[in-house]
Structure 1
Amino acid sequence: MPSRSLDFARPAVFAGGMTERIECDIAVVGAGTAGITVAAGGALLGAKTVLIERDRMGGARLYGELPLQALAAAARHATDWQHAAKLGIRFDEPDIDILAVLRHANATIAAAAPNDSAERLGALGVTVLQGEARFAAPDTLNVGSTQVTARRFVIASGAKPAMPAIPGLTDIACLTPQSIFDLTERPLHLLVIGGGGTGIACAQAFQRLGVRVTLVERQQCLARHDPELRDLVVDALRRDGVTLHEQTTITLAENSATGIVLTLHHADGGTDRIAGSHLLLATGWQADLDALDLRQAGITTGPRGIAVDGTLRTSNHHVHAIGAAVDPQATTAIAVHHATVALKNILLRLPLRADRRAAADLVACDPELACVGLSEAAARARHGRIHIQRRPFILNERALAEGRSEGLLKVMTTSTGRILGAAAVGPQAAEILHPWALAIGKGLGIGAVQAMIAPFPARGSSALQAAADFYRPKLFSPLTRRIVQFLARFG
């Protein structure tokens, strides 16, 4: 236990350039969503807490996911004139100022930033250090010339963009999913490498906002998602005008007098060269661990990031690792869940384990794609025979009234009604999945969803309809009819 306490009535922000020794209960590395959740929670529970961040407070959620949602919202509005015509309302095609759209995205960041700021955390009792953290011993971190000793450490250092092995790519000035919002000119032709959720969302949004977009993916776009749902999204991108090259390898990237040129090799053996003005690298993430010198702390890493047990504890039992430091593909929802598990294990000594049963994901495209729990393929692999309920939104009254009935809800259960996973593609897909996320997280069966009394008409009522579909074969079976006929004899 540290012998010297800090005066948390006057929390501080240090620049890491002064000689200082700090002893605390919890030291957190990384001020993204996961790290801030741990630091704020620790301070509120009375622990002496230090939070270390070398860059901007807020991490990928604040500077990547949030502005991407703002960009996607603007892109949806850019097509309102097309959808309104179905409802008998006609107006001219909009005049789009893409730089104004990007200013709105950055204004969204600025509006949310105070919640993740050093000032707010300081007011909660967290001491914030700004600088690079490096382990000097199993129980000590150096931040510049400041030394931090703690009873427990939490590594929430996040992830950095993965750099694919493409010849010439290191010589290209690439945009990232964060830096693309700092553009000061309208791209003439945006090249996107990577067909995951971020690449798809950015490609569609910029195309709808008047930029010519070409996307290259070496496998299939949205390969981690249900093929039945991903095809609806890919079809929408093609209708919007995005040029897609799936199952295509980039053999060379080079600068030219007119911009950036990529040489492509397609699955059918053909080759191609495409030129663009800007290049967005959206090929995924890798854990950002290089600067930490984990060997000094006796911390083992694996192929994805830091190796942890079910409680998110590392090989150094005084250190937990969470979020993208453990899994570079971890979503914000998973990062918050990890933070909660680690905090309760550290301070409350509760033997909690991370639970991915209700892991959720969202692709900010239009139609929106969201999923929670197991996909159909994963559910079949784990449970063998499963039940699938598909509910097309064309059967939903609210969707019909709004003239936006594309997409469907898909639910996977066991034969007894235990919910394994759910996915949806369509407007407001993420909101439609909320009851399914709750049910999976709490271990509720599909009967709990079917018993809901929900507002009507609503897109979310598709949940009730899907649950009713599960029971319909049994409810209206010949056996049930015979029971009803038998009971009718008694008046």
Structure 2
Amino acid sequence: MRQAPTVRVGGVYREKLGPSQRACAAFPPLAWRLSSLSDRRISLQRISFARQSMADLQNPDICIIGAGALGIALALRARRLGAGVLLINRGAEEAGDPAQGRLVAATFAASAARAQAMRTAGVLGLAHAEPKPNFKAIGEHAKTLAANTAPRDAKERLIALGIDYRTGQPVFTGRQTLKLGDATLRPRHVILATGAKPILPAIPGLDEIAYFTPDTIAGNSRKLSHLVVIGGDAGAIELAQAYHRLGAMVTLVPGEILPGFDREQVVILLRQLAQEGLEIAEDAVVSAILPRRQGTGVEITHADGTTHGLDASHVLVAMGRLPDLAGLGLERAKVRFDKARPQFLQLNPDGHTTNTRISAVGGAAGQNQPHAALRYGAIIIDRLFGTGASRLDSKSIPSFTQTEPGLASIGLIEGERPLPEGTLVLRASFAENDMARALGQTHGAAKLLASGNGKILGASIIGPGAGEVIAMLALAMERGMPVGALAELVLPHPSLAAVLTQLGEAFLATRLPGAWEKRSQALRKLLG
């Protein structure tokens, strides 16, 4: 009988498969399987045993609680590293993190952007028209796209890739053990990827009406005549603009608006939203909801104490999220909550809880921007399995608001706190960017903070393509690229990213030539 070839398992070539290994080769090479009848029998036995060992896995390398988009992505990453992975679906979609939720939201926003493009086509010399949105058709289009991508995240595919996928409510019974049904699990490490539920403020009368949250409004299939949006985070602003562009009258009552972003650029965004026709009640809060037979009364109180009422058809509450950790028995795992924020976990800089065998990412850790949660989770997994040395650093992850114009920031923010001595504030305007001019979207600017020696400390961008441009800056910061090097970027022309070369050139213009440079220049002049 032919000797079985070695099989690559987690970066190590092994010959013998067994339950002690962290990964099993479920499908040996075809030539080996078909070489002889006896080999085929052994191969089938090995395949059966590998599948059985994965199905009966009680001590996985990593257990991920929460099978939303984030949990699935992290499970696939850990599996690619050769880890034994158990992914637990708690029986319902994770709040704020359904598997295809981001695609549905992006599809809705794209419909709103297209409607606005029709409305403003005259700027580019085209005949403009008032769009006639069909919310049912928009919803069906989003559902179709989600259904087409659903197999990518399907349970069957994950199992075929070697992930142990189970459904049920896990409960911790000790520092390292948890129960799932009748099974007792003892994973090497647990990652909480459980999502986060919307915050519901204590507004008198709110519990007497049917209101939307960011999770439930995705299922709306009707045009909303007057939507009042309560909240000022990125999700609230994005939904307010999208529904207004699709024909609804929208009043935004933000309270604190877009914390963590550059105040100067937030003002630019609010001005643009107001020009589109959004009603924005700045320095005001919703003080009461007044149920009526038809519609809903909304009482607003301003900073000076004055009040006025609104007649709303619908209300959207989008005031942020709280970790959804109920029923996990975290106290038995010696996991403590933050004293200053009792509904949030106490986490160290590496994302670990007070039990170092348990980490939290995404909504469970108070991270409500998907790209940031995915990056944090990837760093945790890489460190667990020795493939990365990066540490969690909130200042290295960009923040986005997917509005038009887009708003993005990373690192230090001007005005958030006193800047280090010698910090340079560099600016570039989209009004001077040829691509922005061609698009008719010249309202916006880029701002970069740098040390005297050229280290990039932070940046804020408002304008078209803000998300893509800030991502390039994030990479430059991670790689330690000095700001002057941005001037050397080779970009297609025209390009929105040319604001980066403007910033690089602005930095170089602040530098005075040193003695050696002056001598070199004089020598070149002398030599003609």
TM-score (norm 2): 0.84
Contact between 1:135 and 1:294, CA under 8 Å: does it hold in 2? yes
Q: CA deviation at 1:107?
A: 3.1
Distance 1:34 1:82, change over 3 A: closer
Q: Equivalent of 1:204, from 228, 233, 241? A: 241
User: Aligned-pair RMSD on alpha carbons?
Assistant: 2.9
Q: Which residue of 2 aligns with 1:225?
A: 261
For 2:353, the equivalent position in structure 1 comes to: 314
Structure 1 pair 244/183, CA: closer, same or farther in 2 (3 Å)?
Answer: same
Letter in 1 for 2:66: G
Cα gap change, 1:257/1:144 in structure 2, threshold over 3 Å: closer, same or farther?
Answer: farther
State the Cα deviation string for residues 137-168 of structure 1 (Å, max 9, x = none).
22222234443321221111121111212123
The CA deviation string for residues 399-455 of structure 1, in whole angstroms up to 9 with x for no partner, is 212222221111111111111112211122111223211011222211332222121
Go from structure 1 to structure 2 and tell me whether the alpha carbon gap of 1:52 and 1:176 turns closer, same or farther (over 3 Å shift).
same
Equivalent-residue separation in structure 2 for 1:4 and 1:426 (angstroms): 51
Question: In the alignment, is the contact (CA less than 8 A) between 2:96 and 2:196 conserved in 1?
Answer: no
The residue aligned with 1:295 is 331
Mapped to 2, the partners of 1:395 and 1:317 lie a distance apart of: 51
Deviation at 1:13, TM superposition (A): 11
* Paired residues of 2:89 and 2:168 also in contact (CA < 8 A): yes
CA contact (8 A) 1:373 1:422 kept: yes
Change (3 A) 1:410 1:110: farther
Please point out which of 436, 440, 443 is paired with 1:403. 440
Match of 2:85 in 1: 49
Q: Please say which of residues 349-358 and 223-232 is displaced more in the overlay.
A: 349-358
Q: Residue 183 of structure 1: CA displacement? A: 1.1
Q: Does 1:331 align with 2:382?
A: no
Going from structure 1 to structure 2, the CA distance change for 1:482 and 1:256 (only over 3 Å counts) comes to farther
1:83 to 107, 120, 137: 120
Shift of 1:211: 1.0
Relative distance call for 1:469 and 1:252 in structure 2 (3 A) is same
Partner in structure 1 of residue 162 of structure 2: 125
Larger radius of gyration: 2
Do the aligned partners of residues 12 and 199 (structure 1) sit closer, same or farther apart at CA in structure 2, a change above 3 Å counting? farther
SS at 2:395 equivalent: coil
1:87-98 alignment runs, 5 A limit: 87-98=124-135
Structure 1 residue runs without a partner (length 5+): 15-19
Counterpart for residue 480 of structure 2: 443
2:398 paired with 1:360 = yes
Structure-2 residue corresponding to 1:421 = 458
State which of 281, 306, 311 in structure 2 corresponds to 1:270: 306
1:365-409 deviations in Å (ceiling 9; x for gaps):
11111222222234x535244211111111011121222222111
Name whichever of 333-342 and 76-85 sits farther off. 76-85
Q: CA distance change for structure 1 residues 355 and 297 in 2, over 3 Å: closer, same or farther?
A: same
The separation in 2 between residues aligned to 1:13 and 1:237, in whole angstroms, is 53
Matched, 1:113 2:150: yes
CA distance in 2, matches of 1:478, 1:469: 21
Amino acid at match of 2:302: H
Kindly report which structure 2 residues correspond to 1:25-64, keeping only aligned pairs within 5 A, or say none.
25-54=61-90, 55-56=92-93, 60=97, 62=99, 64=101
Unpaired segments ≥5 residues, structure 2: 1-18, 27-49
Secondary structure at the aligned position of 1:376 is classed as coil
Say whether the 8 Å CA contact 2:23–2:83 is kept in structure 1.
no
Query: Measured at CA, do residues 371 and 5 of structure 1 come closer, stay the same or move farther in structure 2, by a change above 3 Å?
Result: closer
Q: Deviations over 1:105-131 (max 9, x none)?
A: 333333333333322221211111222
- 2:187 is aligned to 150
Q: Which fold has the larger relative contact order, with Cα–Cα distance below 8 Å and residues 6 or more apart in sequence?
A: 1
Q: Which residue in the other structure is 2:36 paired with?
A: none
1:177 is the counterpart of 2:214: yes
2:375 maps to a residue whose letter is: H
Q: Which deviates further from its counterpart, 51-60 or 461-470?
A: 51-60
Q: CA contact under 8 A between 1:12 and 1:127: conserved in structure 2?
A: no
- Classify 1:256/1:353 alpha carbon distance in 2 versus 1 (closer, same or farther; 3 Å): same
Indicate yes or no: 2:403 matched with 1:371: no
Instruction: Provide the secondary structure at the position in 2 that maps to 1:150.
Output: coil
How does the TM-score come out when normalised to structure 1?
0.90
One-letter amino acid of the counterpart of residue 414, structure 1: S
Q: Cα–Cα, structure 1 residues 91 and 320, in superposed 2: closer, same or farther, change >3 Å?
A: closer
SS state of the match for residue 357, structure 1?
helix
1:433 match: secondary structure: helix
Separation (CA, whole Å) in 2 of partners of 1:104 and 1:384? 53
Please list the CA deviations of residues 293-315 of structure 1 after superposition, one character each: whole Å capped at 9, or x if unmatched: 21010111212622222222222
- Say which SS state the counterpart of residue 394 (structure 2) adopts: coil
Residue 184 to residue 457, structure 1, CA distance change in 2 (3 Å): closer
Letter in 2 for 1:307: Q
Instruction: Judge conservation of contact 2:284–2:301 (CA < 8 Å) in 1.
Output: yes
Q: Give the whole-Å Cα distance in 2 for the aligned partners of 1:93 and 1:125.
A: 51
Structure-1 residue corresponding to 2:503: 466
What count of residue pairs does the alignment treat as equivalent?
482
Tell me the distance in 1 between the aligned counterparts of 2:513 and 2:487: 16
User: AA paired with 1:53?
Assistant: N
Do the aligned partners of residues 476 and 75 (structure 1) sit closer, same or farther apart at CA in structure 2, a change above 3 Å counting?
Answer: farther
Whole-angstrom distance in 2 between the partners of 1:13 and 1:167 = 52
- SS in structure 1 at match of 2:396: coil
Deviation at 1:285, TM superposition (A): 0.9
CA distance in 2, matches of 1:188, 1:13: 53
1:42 offset after TM fit, Å?
2.2
> What is the deviation of 1:479?
11
